[in-house]
Amino acid sequence: MTWQNWARSESITPQRVAHVTDQAEIAAAIAYASQNNMKVKAVGAGHSFTGIAAAPGIQLNLSGLSGLLAVDAAQQTVTLAAGTHLHQVPKLLASHGLAMINLGDIDAQTISGATSTGTHGTGASFGGLATQITGLSMITADLSVLDISAHQHAELFHAARLGLGALGIITSVTVQCVSAFQLHAVERPEPLQDVLDNWEARATGPDHFEFYWFPHTPTALTKTNTRLPLTAPSQPLGGFKRWIDDDLMANKVFGLVCSLGKAFPSVIPPVNRLAQKLTGDREFTDVSTSVFTTMRKVRFREMEYALPRSVIPAVLRDIDSLIKARGWRISFPLEVRAAAPDDLWLSTAYGRETGYIAVHRYFKEDHYEYFQAVEQIFRAYEGRPHWGKIHYQDAASLSKLYPRFGDFVAVRDKLDPNRLFSNDYLNRVLG
């Protein structure tokens, strides 16, 4: 059976599909692949836009490897099976009074897939999801089961937490959590130039800040979230208001607009200008997971780059000029976020204060020309592409962007010398 990712940008027909439920079954699949000169890859939700999870040989389906395995209440850590989806985690943690430190805006991914590809949220003081890992278990090509942390196999820790699936098959991850909390959310339309002129203060002032910009408009739709204790007064969105904003407008109506824009591109600018007036103006307080994550039903393709935080305004202005110069009609907004520096060798935020810009196109539109041209702007500012989102770089160019790239490859050589866990995408980006 042919496998497709969510965005319908990648597809492959594995030679075999193995539905695994424990370490023994994973080890058996790895052994079979090794004996039969096949590749083996784990697949989660298929929410990466690249071919990072494409399995030409044996596809390991981890859906049967799910759930909460252990809780350390004193340390506020939890161990989750690798195939646990992020949207399952809040319910698993609720009875323990815990929450993940930070999340992105999509929770369809598995915990191992999200961390292995560098998924992140926003907040200048908060790292990506992989930085929350305090330990993980992984089965390597020689069938060793390694428990990796800052105290065990510590030489692998900075590589394995964000390993692109290139080092072995992760079976569980231990995640540092915090006490469950609420977020006070303020979402407002604001003049784009004002937001860009004050970007550093906006990005670093509140706990979490991000904004969307619809091309062909002068408006930024800002989101400012402030962390509050769970005991603070709550004022969630009403069910009808949430349905209107997050389902009807953001999905059903937006999906119709994207279809209309594909058929009649000239309608996109006026529709975008209308959208900026009808969306992004609300204030509420709710549990963190209900604020961080949003429902995304309209399929799209995405490219996202990590950049030095200070250059974000210049980059966005360059993209605006590019869109105008090419006469493109872009229906999907650009998303702008921030994250803290970290020490994970292949993290897009490695060693620097980071801002992110993501560009999107409706999945039925041709994204190639737009993404290729925007990527040249990103690269001019020393941007690093998100590993799970479309980009056109390879090992030769990427190795110049990561000071520890060679160290990661050396770990890969040690753990998987015969490239059992490889595929075309990893061959391209790692060599």
pLDDT in tens, 5-62: 999 999 999 999 999 999 999 999 999 999 999 999 999 999 999 999 999 999 999 9
Six-digit token string for 235: 């004022």
pLDDT of residue 257: 75
Q: Is 41 helix (H, G, I), strand (E, B) or coil?
A: strand
DSSP 307: E
Six-digit token string for 237: 């969105």
Q: Give the C-alpha separation, 220 to 247, whole Å.
A: 21
- The pLDDT tens digits of the residues spanning 177-206 come to 999 999 999 999 999 999 999 999 999 999
pLDDT of residue 245: 67
Q: CB of 329 within 8 A of CB of 269?
A: yes
Instruction: pLDDT band for 272, please (50, 70, 90 cuts).
Output: confident
Q: CB of 338 within 8 A of CB of 356?
A: yes
Q: What is the pTM of this model?
A: 0.96
DSSP 87: G
Six-digit token string for 405: 């790239």
Quote the mean pLDDT of the chain. 95
Q: CB of 296 within 8 A of CB of 251?
A: yes
Domains and CATH numbers, the chain: 64-179 (3.30.465.10), 181-385 (3.40.462.10)
Tally of CB atoms within 10 A around 420: 22
pLDDT of residue 276: 67
Q: Give the C-alpha separation, 227 to 208, whole Å.
A: 8
Spell 371-401 as b/e; 16+ CB within 10 A means b. Answer: beebbebbbebebbbbbbbbbebeeeebbeb
In the chain, % of residues over pLDDT 90: 88
Q: CB of 319 within 8 A of CB of 275?
A: no
Q: What angle do CA 54, 107, 18 make, to 5 degrees?
A: 35
Maximum CA extent, the chain:
61
Rg (CA), the chain: 21
Q: What angle do CA 95, 97, 98 make, to 5 degrees?
A: 110
**Closest to 290 (Cα-Cα) out of 197, 175, 180:** 180
Q: CB of 33 within 8 A of CB of 420?
A: yes
Question: E strand or H helix at 370, and its extent?
Answer: helix 368-380
Q: Give the C-alpha separation, 298 to 258, whole Å.
A: 9
Can you give 119-167 as a three-state secondary structure string? CCCCECCCCCHHHHEEEEEEECCCCCEEEEECCCCHHHHHHHCCCCCCC
Q: Is 415 helix (H, G, I), strand (E, B) or coil?
A: helix
pLDDT of residue 271: 74
